[in-house]
Structure formats: C-alpha cells, structure tokens
Amino acid sequence: MTLADAQPQALNFDCETGNYHTFCPISCVAWLYQKIEDSFFLVIGTKTCGYFLQNAMGVMIFAEPRYAMAELEEGDISAQLNDYDELKRLCDQIKRDRNPSVIVWIGTCTTEIIKMDLEGLAPKLEAEIGIPIVVARANGLDYAFTQGEDTVLAAMAARCPSQAPASEEEKEERGGLQKLLNFGRKKEDVAAEASEYVDHPSLVLFGSLPDPVVTQLTLELKRQGIKVSGWLPAKRYTELPVLEEGSYVCGVNPFLSRTATTLMRRRKCKLIGAPFPIGPDGTRAWVEKICSVFGVEPKGLDEREAQIWDNLEDYLQLIRGKSVFFMGDNLLEISLARFLIRCGMTVPEIGIPYMDKRYQAAELALLEQTCRDMGVPFPRIVEKPDNYNQVQRIHDLKPDLVITGMAHANPLEARGINTKWSVEFTFAQIHGFGNARDILELVTRPLRRNTALKDLGWDKLVKEDATV
C-alpha cells in the first residue's frame, strides 16, 4: 500500500457523544488572576464549583489567591434572598479586604439555570461601589476548560478604551508601565526606538500568556519592524490596550474564538487569521502571516526556524516515527498535533472539545499542508469525543503516546500505555521559537522515563488485560 492510497484528500471531521473528561471552564480564574494582577475573580456558584477549584488548583489555593466563591445557598436558589443585595454585600467585603481594580464575576451552570441576571446587575452595582465589574459566563453547560479564558477576554474586550488617552496626566495614569520601561532614557532615544518599526496600523494581540512569553513574542515581531500596541489582557486591568476601529488583532491561542468574534463585531477590529505560534513552524507561520498583512517582507525567518529545529534534534530522535493520540480536552490539540507531525510523529486521532473551523482555518490549513509535506495520513479530528470509545480505539491502535487528562493517565499507564497529562500544556510556556523545546520536553518525558525503566519488565501493572 502506498502512502498516496491511504491519504484522503481533505481532513476528516467527526463528532461523537461529548462524553469526555475535561476541566470546568471556571478553572481559567487560576491563571487569569495571576496574569491580571489587580483583579479579583468571584465565582458565583455552588460547593461543586468551589471543590473543583480547590482540588484542581492544588497548592495555589493557599497563597491567599485573589479569587473566591460566592457560594449559593438554598435561599439563593429559591429566590428567598435578593441577588443584588447578596452580591453587594460580598463585593463590598472584597473591596474592603483587597481593593481590586476590577471584580470579574464568573457565572456558572447554576446562575444560568436559575437565570440570575448578572449582566444586568453588574452595571448597577458597579456604579454603586465604584469598581468595574466584568461578567463572564464560563460554565460547563456551554464550554470546556480553556474556553473559560475566552469568555473572560471577550467580556474584557468591551472594556478596552477606544482611543489613546488625550491629556498628559491621563497618559501618565494609564501608561505607568510604559514610563517604567522608558525610565531614565531621553525622549530622543525613545523616539529613535520607535523608528525601528515600520509604519503600520495598530496591532493588538489577544490571549493570556505568562509575561516572559509576552516579551518574547513582542520582540519576535519587533525583529520584523512590527510594533505590538498592546495585549489583551495586560498585566493590570488598568492597562487594557486601546482598541480603535480598524485596529488589527491577532490571537495567540486556538481557543479564543469568542474573543475574536467580539473584537471583530463589537470593536470593529480586523482579525488576522494565522496559525498559532506554537512550535517553530507555527511561530514562523504566525509571524509571516502578520507581516504579509502589513506588507512587510519577513527577514531571517528561514535561518531562525532552522536553528531552532537543529537545537531540537536530540528530542526529535526520540519521537520520529512514533504515534501520538490526543484524547482532547483543552483545544490546543490541532496546533500541537501539527507541530508533532512536523517533528516526524504520526497522529491517528485528534480529539478536541470544540472545533471553530473559521477561527482555526489557517491552523487547519497548515495541518493539512504539514501532513502532505511529511507524507503522513491525515489525522481523524474528533469533536466532542467519547472517552469510552477512545479508550477502545487506543487499545486497538496501541499508540506510542496518549495525551490525555488526569482521569485517564494513571489507568492507561497501568496498562502499559505511555501518557502525558494534557493540562501541563496549558500551564507550560509553549509559545514562540524559544519555547519549542519546552513542548518536546513535555512530550518526550514519558518516553524518556519509560525507556529508563524498560528492562524491568513491569510495563503492565493490572491483573488481567482489562476489558476496558
């Protein structure tokens, strides 16, 4: 059988029952409260939500986080208590104890079902207590895991100022960070630096990334003379970027489709649809796409990408020709699969909670192209997968690596199947040229570990080869 016979002409999309394991989208508070330093996240839900956060976030909970539950009691459900009064009491307390610059209300399944009008209550309460209140409905009825961030950023997009502050004082107030960066330098120097950029309309990037990665990606574009005017979100709520009508925006993560839609429809921004800067191939395609939109000829990307690949060679040797199965739970799957195929792996299945073919169009095109370039069969993309069926397929396919949630990792390992927890990809630094090695560090870790143990004869650690 030649490869050509095995290759369908286009990507193959399936949809299963949606019976899969993932984190609840309220988990986004765990990384967003750290990212947005002057925020406070109030999750309006039940004990179920609270227990999830407490267990999923592990140790972080003890660092006196800037998030809390507004735990609904029976009186709230049956409307014996007044929602507005209750929320006011809690938000007053938060204001008193923490004095944040913004309170983000996270709506949950319960507030959806009892139809608590958070969007209606917020502006009233905001006026009364004098702190902005942003409402995001990050609930398990509608969304999975990382999509929680999407709902928060979509809500934040509405709060971005629409024009640069006019007066000098206002600028001072808003641009605290900028001032710090320019500290001690003469005005001319700063002006000279600005001229390093080509003249292009303003560009705002969206997606929450750790600050070092923000710096790396910003500098990557600076090499091409492209200036990043701001990031959604910024380090502080008070530093949200200016979004003018006609500004260009570009996403850095595959799960931000609502934010993209909001930026286009509500803020009249122009979306640059690019693959995501995950892996050196993705980063290069991302930079190239942004350059092409601004009519900039990209410089030095060939060498830069080649050099990164060279540095990865020791890891690539471990995974070349091996297969990887994505069970799907965080929406990074398409980009990661595309990168791993470029690394020489084969991917029989990409499970994914939700597939926005428009927002991810460029990424999907790059995946297709990568499969052709590498001469491997197209993966089967399974939206809303069924974990039970997937485990059957894993037993049939015997992939070299399964990327999966923590609910399945230990049971699969006990059956001699290498696994990597998918959640780590969400918290690790995986964007840009410099972090490609970190992705492979994660991907190869189970292979390296299990190679170290392979002569011990312990790869199967359950009694009978389980039926499932």
Partner 1 sequence: MKLAYWMYAGPAHIGTLRIASSFKNVHAIMHAPLGDDYFNVMRSMLERERDFTPVTTSVVDRNVLARGSQEKVVDNITRKDQEEAPDLIVLTPTCTSSILQEDLQNFVDRAQMDAKGDVMLADVNHYRVNELQAADRTLQQIVQFYIEKARKKGELPEGKTERPSVNIIGISTLGFHNNHDRRELITLMRDLGIEINAIIPDAASVHELKHLPRAWFNLVPYRELGHMTTDYLQQEFGMPSVDITPMGIVETARCIRAIQKVLNEQGATKDYESYIDEQTRFVSQAAWFSRSIDCQNLTGKRAVVFGDNTHAVAMTRILAREMGIKVVLAGTYCKYDAEWFREQVEGYCDEVLVSDDNAAIANAIARLEPAAIFGTQMERHVGKRLDIPCGVIASPVHIQNFPVGFTPFLGYEGANQVVDLVYNSFTLGMEDHLLEIFGGHDTKEVITKEMSETTDLAWSKDGLVELNKIPGFVRGKVKRNVEKFARDRHIAQITAEVLYAAKEAVGA
Residues lying near partner 1 in the complex (CB under 8 A) are found at 18-26, 44, 46-48, 50-52, 54-56, 58, 61-62, 65, 68-74, 76-77, 81, 86-87, 89-90, 93-94, 109-110, 112-114, 139-145, 388, 391, 405-411, 414, 461-462, 466-468
Q: Which is nearer to partner 1, 348 or 411 (CB)?
A: 411
| Residue among 395, 388, 396 at smallest CA distance from 351 | 388
CB of 58 to partner 1, least distance (A): 7
Q: Which is nearer to partner 1, 2 or 467 (CB)?
A: 467
CB of 292 to partner 1, least distance (A): 38
Task: Return all residues near 94 (Cβ < 8 A) that are at least 6 apart.
Answer: 40, 42, 68, 100, 103
Q: Which is nearer to partner 1, 19 or 99 (CB)?
A: 19
Q: Which is nearer to partner 1, 115 or 187 (CB)?
A: 115
Cα 46 to Cα 108: distance, rounded to the nearest angstrom:
9
Q: Which two tokens stand for residue 133?
A: 């209140």
233: cis peptide before it, omega within 30°? yes
| Cα dihedral sign, 127-131-132-136 | negative
Triad 24, 443, 323: Cα angle to 5°: 100
Cα 448 to Cα 366: distance, rounded to the nearest angstrom:
29
For the CA atoms of the chain, what is the radius of gyration?
23
Q: Which two tokens stand for residue 191?
A: 């002006």
What type of residue sits at position 423?
A: V
CB of 88 to partner 1, least distance (A): 10
| Residue among 38, 35, 39, 65 at smallest CA distance from 53 | 65
Q: Which is nearer to partner 1, 43 or 347 (CB)?
A: 43
Q: Which is nearer to partner 1, 69 or 343 (CB)?
A: 69
Q: Which is nearer to partner 1, 62 or 183 (CB)?
A: 62
CB of 206 to partner 1, least distance (A): 24
CB of 21 to partner 1, least distance (A): 6
CB of 326 to partner 1, least distance (A): 18
Question: 127 — phi, psi (to 5°)?
Answer: -65, -35
CB of 419 to partner 1, least distance (A): 11
Cα 267 to Cα 114: distance, rounded to the nearest angstrom:
31
CB of 115 to partner 1, least distance (A): 10
Q: Which is nearer to partner 1, 306 or 414 (CB)?
A: 414
Q: Which is nearer to partner 1, 73 or 302 (CB)?
A: 73
| Cα dihedral sign, 208-212-213-214 | positive
> Using H for helix, E for strand and C for coil, what is the string for 290-316?
HHHHCCCCCCCHHHHHHHHHHHHHHHH
Q: In what order do the strands lie in the sheet with 323-326?
A: 12-15, 380-383, 346-352, 323-326, 401-404, 419-421
Terminal Cα-to-Cα distance of the chain (whole angstroms): 31
Relative to beta strand 228-232, strand 323-326 is unpaired
| C-beta neighbour count of 194 within 10 angstroms | 9
Q: Are 330 and 28 in contact (CB under 8 A)?
A: no
Q: Which is nearer to partner 1, 58 or 184 (CB)?
A: 58
CB of 44 to partner 1, least distance (A): 8
CB of 405 to partner 1, least distance (A): 7
